[in-house]
Chain A
Amino acid sequence: MSELSEKPEEGYDCEGFPIPSAPLPDAATVRAEMLSVYPAKTKKKREKQLLTNDPGTPPEIAANTRTIPGIITQRGCTYAGCRGVVIGPIHDILHITHGPIGCSYYSWATRRNLARVKPGQPVNYLQYSMTTDMMEEEIIFGGEKKLAAAIREAYRIFKPKAIAVYATCPVGLIGDDIHSVCRKAKEELGINIFGFSCEGYKGVSQSAGHHIANNGVFKHMVGLLDEPDKAKFRINVLGEYNIGGDAWEIDQLLQKCGIHVTATLSGDISYEQICKCHTSDLNVVMCHRSINYMAEMMETKFGIPWVKVNFIGAEQTAKSLRKIAKFFGDKQLIDRTEEVIAQEMAALRPVIEDVKSRLKGKTAAMFVGGSRAHHYQHLFKDVGMLTVAAGYEFAHRDDYEGRVVLPTIKIDADSRNIEEIEVEADPKRYNPRKTPEQIEALKAGGFSFKDYDGMMVEMKKHVLVIDDISHHEMEKLIETYKPDIIGSGIKDKFVIEKFGVPCKQLHSYDYGGPYAAFTGAANFYKEIDRMIGSKVWKMVTPPWKKSTQETFGVGIESEGNKAIREIVAGMAKAWKPKAKAATSDEG
């Protein structure tokens, strides 16, 4: 906790992990218990995805493999990863889903793709849901005609700059060629129109959709506009989706330091920003899982290097800022960055101290996404909370074990389905941002490129790592570990809370946020403090079911009751003589 105080703090062990206030159950025993109910085949598969951690040499995890039918998974589909996550946030192009009604309906404004309408771009198309609403007739006779007509109608009504088309399950099966429809429409209408073959059944999770989206965005948008922004230090933030305004928070912080963001892929982003993002000088990667493809392809084609950053957590944010400043190597920038960090930390420290006084020693578990289950551990750590179990919903081995395992990852049939596009250096625009000498010098100074070490090396030894957690495992985890809070998604939230354990949605932030950067971190600490400390959890058990029973309103001894009785006695006294007088008058 170097940013937070000078010496190792009370409440943290020698490795810097928070010390839980109650002893933890034995992870291996819990693991065995979780696996024990499974039929043999299911057990064999799950035991490779359910591990006890060893940060020294992370064990191999069978991530990015098929979900077992019937197990109750958190995972969604390829369409969700493509339409919903990576491209969905581009707010000034039209998104048309080619398929029956459901897919477009469920992806309509449900991910919090917050966007501010910019001058000159008056329409935020994210408020619209568009689909070909395929009916039986199109399933039988093909839907290409309807798609072509839908694109034409959409153009006539909205006159957008570009239209993206997304294929759903039946489209692939009936063999509609969305790409040729898009090509023809592009020629006819003279705007950029492109399709994504992101049928839900491709791949084993949303992750396949991320890859397909990366490919499409790269092929059809990146590099179309060679107009660099007028700023000295230009970067792109990749894998940041502006949930709860996170991208705005990061952008603001970077601006303070003097760093300009050309494009955030993909949060509050315009078509133009994507088209010119290749003119930036550094790609910083937040969510490695969903966007590392783009970072790699941009480096190969345009020579833009990439580094992993994390703006979730105070210390991590400071570290990330320093890394960016160091890349540019400008003295003024480095000094300004240090000033900003000092200012922000000074404001944050009292919040951390206050919240930590209540949360120190408490425990958290997280099962979410492809980066958040890792990143958010830092926020919990900042306030003295240990993550006792974590796992991703759709990440790959490198997100758990680090990029060092990349060469050893076996490409299975499901991954082979996803196109790997061949990228070459652009003959004119390839421009390595650093000379080999500069790169060497940076490396010698401890700087590393393409650096993601994964989640496991930053987790405590013997905690549980669970990939694609099943509902059954979640229940067992709650029963055995009784974490003080769990970070998960909408499908788990109310299950967890029925147990009396608060659940923070880490996809939607429970409609709160921002949680990124320093101000966001303060929001998160306070939010977790509120959730864990909420009085509601103490009212779950009615008093008559508690061992020490309270009595309400019975017993004449209580002071309150005595006082009321005295008042009533006084009133009766005052009233009686008058009553008598009235009676005697009548008599």
Chain B
Amino acid sequence: MVGNDIVDLKLAKIESNWQRPGFLTKIFTEKERKMIECSSDPFQLVWLFWSMKESAYKCYVQKKSIRFYAPTKLECELLSATEGLVLFEDKTYYTNSKITKNYISTEAQHIRDAKTEHYHFEFNTRTSAKQSEIIRDELKKITATTLNVPFDSLSIKKNSVGVPKLYLNNKQLQASFSMSHHGNYGVYSIVNTNR
């Protein structure tokens, strides 16, 4: 199971004001807020934690098909600058993040160090639907190669809770994958592609 999330840092600066009263308390636990407060780069830590929570949440929704908006229920712990844990109920998600000057991208899994295929995009279009199509096409391309099937036999459709699923000739594949795009950047992650 894999979930991912990407944050375009330049866009995050414009779209969200993390210093807005109430913002931090609605999203972060007391422990996380203390870490943000003490950080030399609070802006970066806010979005690192956010992408960790969001990617772990996407893992959870894939498995349980239950949606909710409770960012403070998922608590982040950092093991290193880029590795961490997200704790939610009795579950632990293992996260790996990539931090560049342009974006923060996190991948969460319920198994530590499980192998994923992932790819980061830098777009020259800002149209959300177009970006989504580019990521889907790349994901289909790599799956077509892995399974040795024609590109056109693959499709991606969202299920009732909005989780995208891969189909081979209308038969749902068990592959766990996740896609995210924000601003100029996008990413896909995929594991376990079987027929």
Say if A and B assemble together.
no
| A interface residue numbers (CB < 8 A to B) | none
| B interface residue numbers (CB < 8 A to A) | none
